[in-house]
Amino acid sequence: MTTPPANNMDVKRRNRVSTLRCILKSDRVSQMELTQKLALSWPTILQNVKELTELGLVREDGMYASTGGRKAKAYAPVRDARVAVGVDLTRDRVSVALTDLSGNLLKQATGALRFSMEDIYFKYLGGLLQRFVDANGGEERLLGVGLALPGTVDGERGVLRDSRDLELRNVPLSRFTQQIPWPCRVLNTAHAAALAEFYGMEEDMVYLSLNDTVGGAIFRDGALCPGDHLRAGEFGHMTLVPGGRRCRCGREGCLDAYCSAKVLSDHAGGSLTAFFEELRSGDAEKREVWREYLENLAVAVNNLRVSFDCGVMVGGAVGACLEEFGELLRALLAERNPFEQDTSYLRYGRRPQEAAAVGAALTQVEAFLQGL
């Protein structure tokens, strides 16, 4: 199937969007720099900047110092000209984030809230979001709400196909959004977290999410790959140890049974924070548990590396602790990979706590940018 040729309006829109994206990545930029970075003509950049300024998305920001000729105007993004709200909904809590057009976190709130399919739960969720927006003065600039759900989200059919975490199957997405008074977009939690972590990146990456469950995502050519059945990135159900520990899915030996955050927190009274505090203090039992955990994680990360041949980012609650406690992981990876000992391909999540909520908000930002 061939893609129809773009008409003149499509080309103008794409150029306008490219110009805005370039400005959003800069604190300050000149028209000449934009023409060089985007390989667009001077008149095209001039027209794009004019239109974006009229929309309130770009502003003039003084002049650059002269290098011998006329001084060049400087332009800066108005990142908070539009904002978006993201919601990370889990079995026992709700996290809400407010972001600008660059995905910067402006405000965040997290609270305990036990999930229920009762009307009162969704009414409370809608009221919570209304109060959050009102408190942060964002309604006039609000693009909409993104909602991250744990499970297989079929956006085309508008259905949450299944969610073991919420114990649901084939629930209309409208059930989750009916009390939210703004445009809504829904996606899988791990995909949302990956979108936040990879936003603005141009390289291919694989994301491994280590929370109470293990998930992930594949980021290729600047976009998430959902897979034929919307299950791309379900790394938690790769078989790590045939015939091994029983997984929550009912099978044996899944990665989830060896590398979820729960594997660690179960050794510290259910608290991941307590586990790492005891590990930091030199507790011998925790050190042994951590070593076994990293040995299993190294197998998984190495499998992802040799399968996809791109960078691997480990995020989630455990990923947030690897900067401090992950030196052994790199050593294990260097030993295991037959092709390379360089482990610079391994990265740790930049947004450990709010990634899914921010990524959910970014779905609204992307929709806005594509529609300019």
Task: Transcribe 293-355 into DSSP letters.
Answer: HHHHHHHHHHHHHHHH-SEEEEEHHHHTTHHHH-HHHHHHHHHH-SS----TTEEE-S-TTTH
Q: What is the pLDDT along the chain (372 residues), one digit of tens a residue?
A: 455 556 788 899 999 999 999 999 988 999 889 999 999 999 999 999 999 999 999 999 877 766 666 778 889 999 999 999 999 999 999 999 999 999 999 999 999 999 999 999 999 999 999 999 999 987 899 999 999 999 999 999 999 999 988 999 999 999 999 999 999 999 999 999 999 999 888 899 999 999 989 999 999 988 899 999 999 999 999 999 999 999 988 999 999 999 999 999 999 999 999 999 999 999 999 999 999 999 999 999 999 999 999 999 999 999 999 999 999 999 999 999 889 899 999 999 877 678 999 999 999 999 999 988
- Please say whether the beta carbons of 17 and 372 come within 8 A: yes
What is the pLDDT of the chain when averaged over all its residues?
92
Do 277 and 167 have their domain in common?
no
pLDDT at 37: 94
pLDDT at 8: 85
For residue 230, the domain's CATH number is 3.30.420.40
Do 323 and 254 have their domain in common?
yes
- Please say whether the beta carbons of 128 and 94 come within 8 A: yes
Do 274 and 294 have their domain in common?
yes
pLDDT at 1: 46
Where in the sequence is the domain holding 111, given as residue range(s)? Answer: 81-195+355-370
Do 360 and 324 have their domain in common?
no
Please give the backbone phi and psi of residue 4, each rounded to the nearest 5 degrees, phi first.
-65, 150
pTM score over 0.75: yes
pLDDT at 87: 98
Q: Is 221 a member of any domain? A: yes
Do 169 and 287 have their domain in common?
no
Domain count, the chain: 3
Q: Is 225 a member of any domain? A: yes
Do 165 and 117 have their domain in common?
yes
Which token pair is 17? 């969007």
In what helix (H) or strand (E) does residue 87 lie, and over which residues does it extend? strand 83-89
Q: Is 322 a member of any domain? A: yes
Q: Is 37 a member of any domain? A: yes
Which token pair is 308? 């996809």
pLDDT at 95: 95
Do 148 and 225 have their domain in common?
no
Do 89 and 129 have their domain in common?
yes
Residue 238, burial from CB neighbour count under 10 angstroms (0-12, 13-18, 19+): middle
Which token pair is 57? 């998305």
At residue 350, what is the residue type?
R
pLDDT at 4: 54
